[in-house]
Structures are given as C-alpha cells and as structure tokens.
Amino acid sequence: MSAASAPAGRLKSILGGSAGNLVEWFDWYVYSAFGLYFAPHFFPKGDKTAELLSIAAVFAVGFVMRPIGAWIMGIYADRRGRKAGLTLSVTLMCAGAFLIAICPSYATIGWGAPALLVFARLMQGLSVGGEYGASAVYLSEMAGKNRRGFFSSFQYVTLIAGQLMALFTLLLLQAVLSEAQLEEWGWRLPFALGGLLAIVVFRIRRGLMETEAFTNAKGQPKSSGWLLFTQHPRQAATVVLLTAGGTLAFYAYTTYMQKFLVNTSGFSRESATWIMTAALALYAALQPLAGALSDRIGRRPLMIGFGIAGVVATVPIFTALETVRDPVIAWGLVMVALVIVTGYTAINAVVKAELFPAHIRALGVALPYALANTAFGGTAEYVALWLKTAHMERAFYWYVTAMIAVSLITYWRMRDTRAHSQIAED
C-alpha cells in the first residue's frame, strides 16, 4: 500500500482538499454578502441602485470567467497534477481577496478603483472555475473505491459551508461594528480574512499527496480541449446534460429562493435569511449521507430519484410557497426541495469524475460543467426575475421542471458510473 492510499494519509489529503474548497467559496461569496457596504467605494457617488448594479455587473464578469478558468485550470491539473491545480487555484483566490481588501477607493484613484476590482474578480473567477474540476477529481481519486461517493460529497458540504461562513461573518460584523464603521472600513475585514485563510490553505495544499490515478496516467496523451471534444464527446455531452437540470434546480432552490421568499411570499429580509440559513445548514449535513448511500446502491438511483421528484414536485413547492406566511412551513417546503436536489448535488462530482480517464479527467469534469453552470445556473435568478417582471412568474417553475426532465432522460439512459468507473480502471 502506497503512502497516498494509506487510510491516514488519504483522510488527511481529503480534509486538506475540502478545507481549501470551503475557503475558496467563502472568498467568492463574501463579495455578494458585503456588496451593499463597499459599492460606494468603487464607483462615482450617485444613485444607490446604480452602484449596486455596477457591483452586480462585476460579479457577472467573474461568473463568465468560470468556463475559461475551467478550461485553463483543467488542462493544468491534468498535465501538472491535481495538487498543482489546487495550489494554483487557491493562489489566485488569495491574490484577488487581498487586492479587494487593500484597493483604494474611487475618490482616491478614480476609475483605477473599479478597474482593480474587475481585475481581482477576474482572478477569482478563474480560480473558482478551476477549483471545481480540480477538487472534484482530487477527492474522487483520493477516496477509496468503496467510499468515493461519501468523500466526494464533501465538495458540496464545503461549498454550502462557504456561503454560510460568509453570512455569519456579515452577521458578526453587523453586531460589533456600527453601520458607519462597516461602510467606511469594516467591509475590508472579510476580504483580508479570506486572504489570510487562503494562505493557510496554500500551505496545506503544498503538503498534499498526489493521487495515484494521476501518477499512473503519465505518458498518456496531453489534456486539451481538442482531445476532450474529439475523443470523449459523449462523456462531455453527458456532463452538460446531467448538470443542466441539477445546477438550475440548485440555484433556484438556494440562491434565488431567498429573494423569492421576500418578493413573492412576502417575508421580511431577516426572516428569509434565517429560513434559508437553517435550511442550508441541514442541507449541508445531508450531502455525506446521500454520498454514502450511493456507495451502497449506486449513483444512478439517486440521480433518477432527484429527476423524478424534481419533475413532480417543483411546481407544487413554488406554488405553495407563494401564499405561505408561516416561516416554519416555509422552511419545511424549502427543505423538501433541498432534499430532492441532494440526489444530484451529493454525487454529481464523483459521477463526472468516473466518466473520464485520468489524463483528461480534470478538464472533462470542469469545462462541460462550467458551460452548463454558466448557461443554466448562472442565469437562474435573471430568468426568474425577468419572468416575474413580465407577470409570468409561474413559467419559471415550469422552466426548472423542464430542465430537470432533460437531465432525468440523461440519468435514465446512462450507465451507473459506480459499476463502470473509469477511476477503477486507471
């Protein structure tokens, strides 16, 4: 048994990879959590809505960079190693966080301030785009064959934990600082904290072991976009299609749901925040349970379960939430939706990793996922709000249902990757 496969070494590596994923997502979501406070520092004084729209536009630029990051970083992780990919990813995120933390304001350097903000978010977008593929592959390859679903599920545990950590940081600073202090300098603290945590993760990741799958793949054809789409087009298309409904449902049930509870259900922002915080905390805890279940019964039953339940229940859940006024009932309905989507989120990383041979695996996981994520997950809120503005809000419920149905067809037709894993064949 090699060092990399020894249980103690494997667990240490998995924990190190997971901790890095948490910090990456904390740094990513801090931008959204504190946008209200730092918007006036980066753009000309004026209408508050215009300032927030500018901040949102910069956020979108970072999102658009994710497929580019997936392409560049996926190839890097396939050619230089999973450890190298993870280390580079957290380096970019760290640099972006520190740059925002120390960036002078618009009043000091004029348009140089928003230019530096855009540059920082470009680096972070590249980082997040590459992090998904590198961490999904690393966790899947490092885990033993019989625990692969369980350990890879921690990717979404740490993703959700990053969101919650950013939210709790905001609540803490709101409790200890005045509104004026937060607006003047307090908003810089979470970015500085994120940069410091990223340095710690950098040191951890530098000490990670490389996976045997990557080591054994040396001498194989070099990873490239051409190689992916010419030699593995079916697997790449499968990743896009299985992701489309899953990522749309995830963003509809999580990110957009908070706004839905305010704009449609009529809850206060504070109530909606606490409903979603409580739901997301339990949702994170469900991921390893579903991952472990997939190690026993296979990946396909969970994905099919998500597909069928999502098609049947999405419209009724959203329709019921329209008229709910009790926060406990609202929480219960949101939890039903999150339990359903767990059938996708807990195992989607390992399913994608099991589709590809090692020499193209990081790119194969990252790039098709990023394309589907940008097209369907990244636009979920915009589509929902546009349809609401057009007085066709319920059309969004059917849109989510239809895309889950597309993914359900994919789940039904594909082989169970647990029984036909490319990782096992390395």
Q: Tell me which of 160-174, 391-405, 408-422 is least confident.
A: 160-174
Question: Percentage of the chain with pLDDT > 90?
Answer: 55
Per the listing, tokens 């064949």 go with 425
Kindly report each contact of residues 286-290 with a partner whose C-beta sits within 8 Å and lies 24 or more positions away, as own/partner.
286/338, 286/339, 286/342, 286/346, 287/153, 287/154, 287/156, 287/157, 287/160, 287/342, 287/345, 287/346, 288/150, 288/153, 288/154, 288/157, 288/346, 289/346, 290/149, 290/153, 290/342, 290/343, 290/346, 290/347
- Give the per-residue pLDDT at 378: 79
User: Percentage helix, strand, coil, to 5, in the chain?
Assistant: 85, 0, 15
Does residue 416 contact residue 244 with C-beta atoms inside 8 Å? no
pLDDT averaged over every residue in the chain: 89
Q: What pLDDT does 207 receive?
A: 82
Q: Which long-range contacts (CB under 8 A, 24 or more apart) does 109-115 make?
A: 113/41, 113/42, 113/43, 114/42, 114/43, 114/54, 114/58
**Confidence label for 85 from pLDDT (cuts 50, 70 and 90):** very high
**What is the mean predicted confidence (pLDDT) over 400-420?**
96
CATH number of 233-355+379-416: 1.20.1250
Q: Where are the domains of the chain?
A: 1-223, 233-355+379-416
Residue 52 pLDDT > 70, yes or no?
Answer: no
d(CA 417, CA 415): 6
Inform me whether the pLDDT recorded for 70 exceeds 90: yes
Question: How would residue 107 be classed by pLDDT, with cut points 50, 70 and 90?
Answer: confident
**Does residue 47 have a pLDDT over 80?**
no
For residue 4, is pLDDT > 50?
no
Task: Give 63 or 228, the one with higher predicted confidence.
Answer: 228
pLDDT at 196: 94
* pLDDT above 70 (res 254): yes
What pLDDT, on the 0 to 100 scale, is given for residue 18?
82
Average pLDDT over residues 229-256: 95
The pLDDT assigned to 247 comes to 95
Tell me the pLDDT tens digit for each residue of 272-324. Answer: 888 988 999 999 999 999 999 999 999 999 999 999 999 999 999 999 999 99
Q: What is the pLDDT of residues 377-394, one digit of tens each?
A: 878 888 888 898 889 999
CATH classification of 1-223, choosing from 1.20.1250.20, 3.40.50.450, 1.20.1050.10, 3.20.20.70? 1.20.1250.20
Question: Mean pLDDT over residues 206-222, rounded?
Answer: 86
Is the pLDDT reported for residue 45 higher than 50? yes
pLDDT in tens, 126-174: 998 888 888 889 989 888 788 899 999 998 999 899 989 988 888 899 8
CA 263 to chain CA mean position, Å: 24
Per-residue pLDDT of 30-41, as tens digits, reads 887 787 788 888
Q: How far is CA 217 from CA 135, 211, 417, 426, in A?
A: 18, 10, 20, 7
Is residue 324 a contact partner of residue 239, using CB atoms and an 8 Å limit? no
Contact by Cβ (8 Å): 368, 236: yes
The rounded distance, in Å, linking the Cα atoms of 401 and 146 is 33
- pLDDT per position as a tens digit, 202-212: 888 888 888 88
Residue 412 pLDDT exceeds 80: yes
pLDDT attached to residue 1: 39
pLDDT digits (tens, 9 = 90+) for 177-188: 988 899 899 999
Q: Report the alpha-carbon distance of residue 228 to residue 23 in Å, rounded.
A: 30
Predicted confidence band at 49 (pLDDT cuts at 50, 70, 90)?
Answer: low
Terminal-residue alpha carbon distance, the chain = 16
